[in-house]
Each structure stands twice: as structure tokens, then as C-alpha cells.
Amino acid sequence: MTIDSDAELDDSEPEPELEIDAPPGVRTGKKKQPKAQTQGDELDTEFTFDTTGGGFVGLAEPWDLPEMVDVVKSGSKPEPISVDDIIARRRLRDGSGSLKRKREEENEDEDDDAEDESERDGEEDEDEDEDEDEEDDEGFGVAAEEEEEEEQADPLASSDEDEDHDEANDAEALDNDDDDGASVASSSGSSQPETAAEKSRKAAFFDTPDPTSSTSSATFQSMNLSRPLLKALASVGFDKPTPIQAATIPVALLGKDVVGGAVTGSGKTAAFVIPILERLLFRDRGKASAATRVVILCPTRELAVQCHAVATRIGSFTDVRFCLVVGGLSLKAQETELRTRPDVVIATPGRLIDHLRNSPTFSLDMLDVLIMDEADRMLEEGFAAELGEIISACPRTRQTMLFSATMTDSVDELIRMGMNKPVRLFVDPKKSTASGLTQEFVRVRDNREDDRPAILMTLCRRTFRTRCIIFFRSKAFAHQMRILFGLLGMKAGELHGNLTQEQRLRALQQFKDGDVDFLLATDLASRGLDIRGIETVINYDMPGQIAQYLHRVGRTARAGLKGRSVTLVGEADRKMLKAVIKHSPADQVKHRLVPAEAVAKMAAKLDGLKDEVDAVLNEEKEEKALRKAEMELKKGENMIEHEQEIFSRPARTWFQSEKDKRNTQDLSKEQYVGGFATNVKEKKTEEKTAGPKRDKLSGLSRKAKRRKLAMEEDEDHDHKRSDTVAIRAAKKAFRPTKIGLPEPSKSLKPGKKGKKEKKPKSSFDRDLTEKGRREGMRTNSKDKAGLSGKVARKGGAAKGGKRKR
Ligand SMILES: Nc1ncnc2c1ncn2[C@@H]1O[C@H](COP(=O)(O)OP(=O)(O)OP(=O)(O)O)[C@@H](O)[C@H]1O
């Protein structure tokens, strides 16, 4: 069927071609979509939360941003540049001219449609033939449902010639994947084999949970929680603990270290917030006892904001004080708040370190609990240096708790965290998805890679019109697509690291409020964000790692609700597709066919918008340059006016040099682009094939290298030590006594100079030169949305942007 572009915009237009078989209860292409789906309405209140992530009723409004947006806005930054304003301005400026042009384009479109019709008919036949052949070959992977009609033949099947090759690749992919998470298997009931050596290492490293400490029938009441907490839990609608909460709360209350894993959206945040609040209710009070006793680390600012909001609500009937310490918000305000010694600090690692080094009265000397949300992400090398710095500032006697939907129980990884006989609490099968999730895949043929933008736009114009989050690999490309959405009159926001913190939070808020229908994001938004009512997650590209995929699609189908993910799969992504299918129940996996004629029509339309996208980008660039010049001017004026005050401030310090930072950023980006397992392999091969190393450590044995690095580190440390001695002495003088929590002794006694330095250096400490991130990449300057999807994807992996959290 030829789709009329006007009809596409008509909400009442049915969309028969896009229909695929969907499980009962899942929205299909035939149904008209509500403006903003209130998923809460669909909840089955009788539903019991099962081990695969069944349903439960969550907070009506899990977290609120307007307050945060105001805080950020109150900074001195100018109003951010809005793409919509530029588009509107251009329309206004062009006036009737543009209208005329638009009319002409529409006529052209119609003509083109008529012309192309016959050509595409032939093409389409060809395509269909291929599909038929391929279906005969393989069917839809290992777990997909068979389509009944021929024209819905498996779009992802392989052809004869590459089958052998694929088999080999797939095996490799799955092996990598198993490596990645094999250790979880033992704890999560998976059938993956584990060597005897690994088993015995784990047996020695982990504590065995007391089987009576948690049962699936546990209630919050039976956990002996205090009244203020029970009241708060009732007020947010948490009637019954989810499995991960039932498993974690009793163990965490005992002060034990925990490594926890459960599917996305299964309530892990409350699983660690509830026990820490309960323990804090029994702390010593009084001015002299005030201290920061709990730190919750999150990998992104948005996640920290969300975690802060959830903790504040669950602690709303207690006197526990929380402080949010993230980049992008006022340092000064945070410093002032930290001086009051809040009980719980919720932070991103970089900003926490900044305060540890530069806020004289803030320390973690009295810390009792360290929690890491999305811990597997934080254990990646990109965060290694920062975590090392933070851990070395915490007492060894602390309780440590790590959580993630893709949590590892690899002993090597966890040793770096200095955990003490942790208890493994994995309540779902390894790397599983939520039970309410339907996963769809759209095949992108090798010679059709350039059609990706058109396929995406077709999906968004015709089928997934609201409450849809779209993930891209590249920040720049997400931005270009954002402009295209704007030019096509579709309400979209963007969320990635190229935006100011205010823009990021505002975009989230607008999406949450239903002011925009689409959120165009990078992996910055892939983990942890709990936005009510997301109906669809679209992956413009297949992510490079299974964990990344699980987190992205985990933004929907949360808290027992239903949701759908749609992933565009190219030939190069087939390994990953198989790995995904392997981890998904057969009835969750579908394939989606997008009509070729609709895609072709959209591609032509996007081609026609190329110049307009360029013009908007240029205008935006000019405006940015102008703003920058104004800011520089203002900065110069300030420098002249307040010179004395500015130079009298102590210089802020950081624990890594700029060069170290850059190196780690590069490493981190590499991990992101190709997937960690693949990259490690590649790196090893590169190392093997590369010529002799020329750095300062070349030719040295491992032991000698370690010693040299340690000596350099010591030297560096000595230089810095004199500066910090005075600060430490001041902090120690203010230190309150430790109270209320079970660990009795502290290895770091005040006044025992140099005790910390005597700690044996772990491999983790030795990684101190690593820092970086994986979120976002620059696109090639030639990549323009709407024109070159293939180039955009490949170019997206080329270079990296500056780290921002
Ligand atoms: N006991 C409970 N009863 C009802 N709803 C709950 C309960 N615990 C948590 N929720 C709700 O479940 C939703 C998901 O919770 P949360 O964000 O903590 O999931 P998560 O497991 O951390 O997800 P992710 O892995 O994506 O970070 C939230 O909206 C929360 O309000």
C-alpha cells in the first residue's frame, strides 16, 4: 500500500501492514494509541510478583524533577539554545516562501510516489522472494515464533552461504557472553557450566545466605521494619516486597556485604534504601555524632537525582538527612550542605571525589555503608580510578552493597571492591528480561543500511507515536535526528552528554510529563531511569553488549507492566541478536516487517530535508559561537573586577592529570564502541602483533613494572601529602565518634599517620591511571540524519566526546 503522508499523521488511520502477532495485552499497530498511556491503568492488582519479574504496583510518581531543574537553572548559565526555536524562527523568517516550497515539495512527493510505484513493485517482489528462501533455510533464530503468512517471512534469517560462518561467529559470541556472566550462573540457577576451580574460589569468597532469612512470602511487616518506614512504604504503594527486596532487606539489616541482581524494574533501589534507613534510625543523634554514614554511588547524574528522590520519599517520615552530590549542580551549595554532615550522600563518583579533595570538612572517615547502583557499570575500567580513590577514603570496616540487573559475581571483579564475605542474592535467571516485555526486531539488509533513518521515522510516524524512547550510539546523530523530528512536526526531546545539565533534566521532565512523545537518547539514559509509562524502546542500532541491550530495553515493562522494544538489526548485528534471543523466552521475541514502500517514501522525504537540517545545524553553531563570545567577555570582566578574590581561592585539585584522564576516556570509549569482551580480545591481539613497546615500562618484568609504578605513585603522593596534612588534621579535629552500627573496630585510627598507605596495594589500586566513559561518540561530519544511516552508524564509532556525568 502507498501511504499518504497526510494520512500518516491522521490518528484515526489504521495501520494494517505493520501488524504482527502480539501477545494478549500488548499494544499492537492496529490499535489507536492514547496520547500518554497511563500504564498504571493496566495493572492487575491481583498479580503476584514472580521470579521472572511479574507485576506489582509502583509509586504513582516515582521521582520529581522540577525542583532539580530549578536548582540547576538558578546557576549563572544562559538559557540553552533550543532547536525548536531555531526551526520556528526559520519558518517565520521564510514566511510564505517556505510555505510555497513546502507545497511544491508535497506535489513532488505525490509525483514521485506515482513514479516510484511501478519500480518498487518489482523491487518488492525481489525482496519477498528472498525472504521466502531464507525462511526455509533457518526460521527465526532459535526461539522466535513462526509467522504464518509468507509475506511475513523471517526478516532476520540467514542465507545458505553464510550459515557456516555465522554458526562459528555465533558460538564465539555466546562464548564471550558466557565468559561475561558465567559466574552469575551458579548463583542464579542457570545451567552454564562453571569450572571446579571457579566454584571453590566462589565458595571461599562468598558467604552462604541463611535460607530462613528471606522467603518469597515475606511482608515488610514481618521484616521488623520501624513504623516510620512502614508508613512511608504504605504511602508510596509498596504493599509487598519484590523478590529482590525480600531477599536483600534481612541480609542487609545484619550488616553483611551484598552482591544483588534482579531484572530491570524489579525494585532494586528500595532493596538497598529500606535497610539503610532502618539502620540509620538507630544511629546516635546529637550534633557531635553527626556524620555521613552512607554513600550511594550512581554512574550518571540523572540516576543519582532519581535515587535521591526515591530515598527521600521512603525516608520522609524519618529524620535521616540526604544530600545529592552530582556534577552539573552548584559546588558551593553542595559544600555548604556537606558541612552539615548529612547522613546519606547520593553521588556520582567524580563530584564525590572533588568534594573529598577540596571540601575541607567533608570526609568518609565515619562511613558505615557504601552502595553502588549499576555496580557492573561502575566496576568497568572507565570508573576504576575514581572508585579506587573513593574506596581508599572509606573505612575498611564498612558494609558494601552492589546491585545491577546485569550484576557479575566474578570474584576478580569483586575483590577490587574490598568486599568482606559478601552474600550473593540473584533472584532472576542470568541476563533475563522483564516478563512483560515483547522484543521485536526489524531486519536491515546489508544494502539497505542507509534506510535506517527512514525505517525509524516510519515506525515513529505510523506505529509508535507516543511514550517512546529511542537509543542511538552517537550524541551528534541523536541531535541530527532530533532536528529531523522537529522538522517533521514530531514532538521530541534529546538526552545525551552534549547537553547542559539543565537541558538533560528538562528533557526528562518533558518526556515524563508527556510534553514530548519521543526521547532521543544515548546510553546515558540506558541504565536505571524509572520513567512511568514508557511504552516502547527503539534501538536504532543493536548495542555492542548484551548488558547494554538489557538495560536499554529495561526502560519499559517495569514494575510488572507491559512494554515493547524494537531493535533495528543489520547483518553485522546477528551475533548479538542470537545472544539476545538465547536469553529471552520464545514467546517474547517477534519480528517486525516495515513496508518497503513506506520506508522508500520516508527516505525521499528525509532526503528533501537534508539542506534544512544543515541550515538548522549551522544556525545553531553560529548561535553557540555568539554565546561563547559573550560568555568569554563576561568572564574577562569578572576576572578584572574580582581578580583578588579569585586568585586568593585555593586551587582545586584532582587525582589524575589531564593526560591520564584522556587516556582513560579513550579506553572507556573503546569498550563502549565494540563491546567489552570483543575489545579485550582485540586489544590482546593488537598487543601481540604490535612492535616492541616504547614506553617507560618496556622491557621490564611485571614485578619490576609494578614496583616502578608504585614508586612513581609514592613520589607523587609525597608531593601532595604536605598539602593535605593540614586539611586532614582539621577534619580529624571535627570528627564525631562512630555510633549505632554493628562493625566495632576501625582500622583507620585518627592520628595514626600514614596508616592508609600501609594497605597492601590491590590490583585495583594499580589501575589508578584509568578513567573515562562510554557514553556517546562523535559522528563523522559527513553523516547527516536522513541521508546516510550506514555512515552515521560507522562514523559514530570513530571518535569520542568529553566526559560528562
Ligand atoms: N515493593 C514494591 N511494590 C510496588 N512497587 C515497587 C516496589 N518496589 C519498587 N517498586 C517500583 O518499581 C519500579 C522500579 O523500581 P526500581 O527503579 O528500583 O527498579 P530497578 O530494579 O532498580 O531497575 P533498573 O535495573 O532498571 O535500575 C519503581 O517505579 C518503583 O516505584
**pLDDT higher than threshold 70 for residue 371:** yes
Quote the ligand 1 centre to 265 CA distance (angstroms). 5
Helix (H, G, I), strand (E, B) or coil at 346: strand
Q: Give nearest CA residue, ligand 1 atom 30.
A: 58
Ligand 1 atom nearest to CA at 528: 27
Domain ends where: 588, 614, 640? 614
Query: Of 35-39, 237-241, 428-432, where does mean pLDDT reach its minimum?
Result: 35-39
pLDDT at 188: 40
Can you tell me the mean pLDDT for 86-107? 64
pLDDT at 41: 37
Same domain, 445 and 574: yes
Which range in 154-163, 580-589, 700-709 is most confidently predicted, on average pLDDT? 580-589
Asked if 700 and 708 count as a contact pair (C-beta separation under 8 A), the reply is yes
pLDDT at 787: 43
Q: Which of 250, 235, 156 has the alpha carbon at shortest distance from 593?
A: 156
Can you tell me the mean pLDDT for 20-47? 38
Confidence class for position 704, pLDDT limits 50, 70, 90: low
Can you tell me the mean pLDDT for 255-270? 96
Tell me if 126 is assigned to some domain: no
Query: Of 363-367, 381-385, 533-537, where does mean pLDDT reach its minimum?
Result: 381-385
Quote the ligand 1 centre to 789 CA distance (angstroms). 36
Can you tell me the mean pLDDT for 79-87? 82
With a CB cutoff of 8 Å and minimum separation 6, the contacts of 621 are none
pLDDT at 749: 34
Helix (H, G, I), strand (E, B) or coil at 295: strand
Can you tell me the mean pLDDT for 474-480? 95
Q: Give nearest CA residue, ligand 1 atom 27.
A: 528
Instruction: State percent of the chain over pLDDT 70.
Output: 58
The residue among 731 and 75 whose pLDDT is bigger is: 731
Q: Give nearest CA residue, ligand 1 atom 10.
A: 58
Domain span holding position 386? 220-426
Question: Beta strand pairing status for 799-800 and 777-778?
Answer: antiparallel
Quote the ligand 1 centre to 644 CA distance (angstroms). 50
Can you tell me the mean pLDDT for 756-783? 37
Tell me if 416 is assigned to some domain: yes
Which range in 161-170, 418-427, 642-651, 663-672 is most confidently predicted, on average pLDDT? 418-427
Confidence class for position 549, pLDDT limits 50, 70, 90: very high
**Alpha-carbon gap, residue 725 to 747, rounded angstroms:** 19
**Alpha-carbon gap, residue 538 to 568, rounded angstroms:** 8
Domain ends where: 614, 631, 649? 614
Can you tell me the mean pLDDT for 151-180? 40
> To test the ligand 1 pocket, which listed residue (216, 248, 266, 561) has its Cβ within 8 A of the most ligand atoms?
266
Tell me if 760 is assigned to some domain: no
pLDDT at 422: 94
pLDDT at 204: 81
pLDDT at 158: 44
pLDDT at 719: 52
Total tally of structural domains belonging to the chain: 2
**pLDDT higher than threshold 50 for residue 781:** no
Can you tell me the mean pLDDT for 388-395? 94
Quickly list H helices, 281-434: 301-314, 331-339, 349-358, 375-378, 381-393, 411-415
Helix (H, G, I), strand (E, B) or coil at 492: strand
**Alpha-carbon gap, residue 547 to 527, rounded angstroms:** 10
**Alpha-carbon gap, residue 330 to 651, rounded angstroms:** 17
Mean pLDDT rounded to a whole number for the chain: 72
- Torsional sign, CA 99, 103, 108, 113: positive
Q: What is the residue-wise DSSP string for 692-746?
A: ---STTTT--HHHHHHHHHHHHHHHHHHHHHHHHHHHHHHHHHPPPP-SSS----
Confidence class for position 1, pLDDT limits 50, 70, 90: very low
- Tell me the sheet residues that pair with 426: 261
Quote the ligand 1 centre to 174 CA distance (angstroms). 30
Same domain, 295 and 441: no
Q: Give nearest CA residue, ligand 1 atom 28.
A: 58
Can you tell me the mean pLDDT for 744-760? 40
Query: Of 479-493, 520-534, 676-690, 708-722, where does mean pLDDT reach its minimum?
Result: 676-690
Asked if 732 and 276 count as a contact pair (C-beta separation under 8 A), the reply is no
Which range in 577-586, 704-713, 788-797 is most confidently predicted, on average pLDDT? 577-586
Cα separation values, 138 from 128, 131, 575, Å: 16, 11, 15
Residue 62 φ/ψ, nearest 5 degrees: -65, -30
**ipTM topping 0.90:** yes
Can you tell me the mean pLDDT for 162-188? 37
> To test the ligand 1 pocket, which listed residue (59, 244, 435) has its Cβ within 8 A of the most ligand atoms?
59
Query: Of 16-25, 480-489, 652-661, where does mean pLDDT reach its minimum?
Result: 16-25
Q: Give nearest CA residue, ligand 1 atom 5.
A: 58
The residue among 753 and 292 whose pLDDT is bigger is: 292
Same domain, 269 and 416: yes
pLDDT at 670: 61
Tell me if 402 is assigned to some domain: yes
Quote the ligand 1 centre to 678 CA distance (angstroms). 32
Can you tell me the mean pLDDT for 766-795? 40
Residue type, 61: E
Which range in 86-100, 133-147, 164-178 is most confidently predicted, on average pLDDT? 86-100
Cα separation values, 492 from 217, 489, 510, 511, 776, Å: 43, 9, 9, 8, 19
With a CB cutoff of 8 Å and minimum separation 6, the contacts of 525 are 302, 469, 471, 495, 496, 508, 519, 555
With a CB cutoff of 8 Å and minimum separation 6, the contacts of 321 are 340, 342, 343, 344
**pLDDT higher than threshold 60 for residue 193:** yes
**Alpha-carbon gap, residue 340 to 353, rounded angstroms:** 18
**pLDDT higher than threshold 50 for residue 562:** yes
Same domain, 512 and 369: no
Tell me if 33 is assigned to some domain: no
Which range in 31-40, 471-480, 693-702 is most confidently predicted, on average pLDDT? 471-480
Tell me if 609 is assigned to some domain: yes
List, for residues 505-516, the tens digit of each pLDDT value: 999 999 999 999
Same domain, 517 and 417: no
Query: Of 135-144, 244-253, 371-380, 520-529, where does mean pLDDT reach its minimum?
Result: 135-144
pLDDT at 95: 63
**Alpha-carbon gap, residue 591 to 582, rounded angstroms:** 15
**pLDDT higher than threshold 90 for residue 431:** no
Angle between helices 301-314 and 501-513 (to 10 degrees): 60
pLDDT at 720: 54
Q: Give nearest CA residue, ligand 1 atom 9.
A: 267
Question: Beta strand pairing status for 294-297 and 369-373?
Answer: parallel
Same domain, 465 and 340: no
pLDDT at 24: 34
**Alpha-carbon gap, residue 502 to 300, rounded angstroms:** 14
Query: Of 339-353, 493-507, 637-651, where does mean pLDDT reach its minimum?
Result: 637-651
Asked if 160 and 179 count as a contact pair (C-beta separation under 8 A), the reply is no
Can you tell me the mean pLDDT for 214-236? 87
Same domain, 271 and 291: yes
Provide the grid cell at 348.
556520582
**pLDDT higher than threshold 50 for residue 135:** no
Domain ends where: 593, 614, 635? 614
List, for residues 287-336, the tens digit of each pLDDT value: 778 899 999 999 999 999 999 999 999 999 999 999 999 998 889 999 99
Quote the ligand 1 centre to 216 CA distance (angstroms). 17
**pLDDT higher than threshold 70 for residue 21:** no
With a CB cutoff of 8 Å and minimum separation 6, the contacts of 719 are none
Same domain, 509 and 540: yes
**Alpha-carbon gap, residue 604 to 454, rounded angstroms:** 9
Tell me if 315 is assigned to some domain: yes
Asked if 786 and 606 count as a contact pair (C-beta separation under 8 A), the reply is yes
Same domain, 422 and 441: no
* Ligand 1 pocket residues where CB is under 6 Å: 56-59, 62, 237-238, 240-242, 245, 262, 264-270, 405, 528, 530, 554, 558-559
216: left (phi over 0), alpha (psi -120 to 50) or beta: alpha
Residue 28 φ/ψ, nearest 5 degrees: -115, 170
Ligand 1 atom nearest to CA at 236: 31
Residues in the chain: 805
Same domain, 533 and 458: yes
Same domain, 245 and 339: yes
Tell me if 369 is assigned to some domain: yes
**Alpha-carbon gap, residue 367 to 377, rounded angstroms:** 23
Quote the ligand 1 centre to 407 CA distance (angstroms). 16
**CATH number of the domain where residue 466 is located:** 3.40.50.300
- Torsional sign, CA 348, 350, 351, 354: positive
Angle among Cα 8, 14, 18 to the nearest 5 degrees reads 85
Can you tell me the mean pLDDT for 520-544? 94
**pLDDT higher than threshold 60 for residue 402:** yes
- Tell me the sheet residues that pair with 494: 520
Same domain, 266 and 387: yes
Confidence class for position 447, pLDDT limits 50, 70, 90: very high
Angle between helices 163-188 and 546-553 (to 10 degrees): 70
> To test the ligand 1 pocket, which listed residue (51, 221, 268) has its Cβ within 8 A of the most ligand atoms?
268
Helix (H, G, I), strand (E, B) or coil at 362: coil
Instruction: State percent of the chain over pLDDT 90.
Output: 43
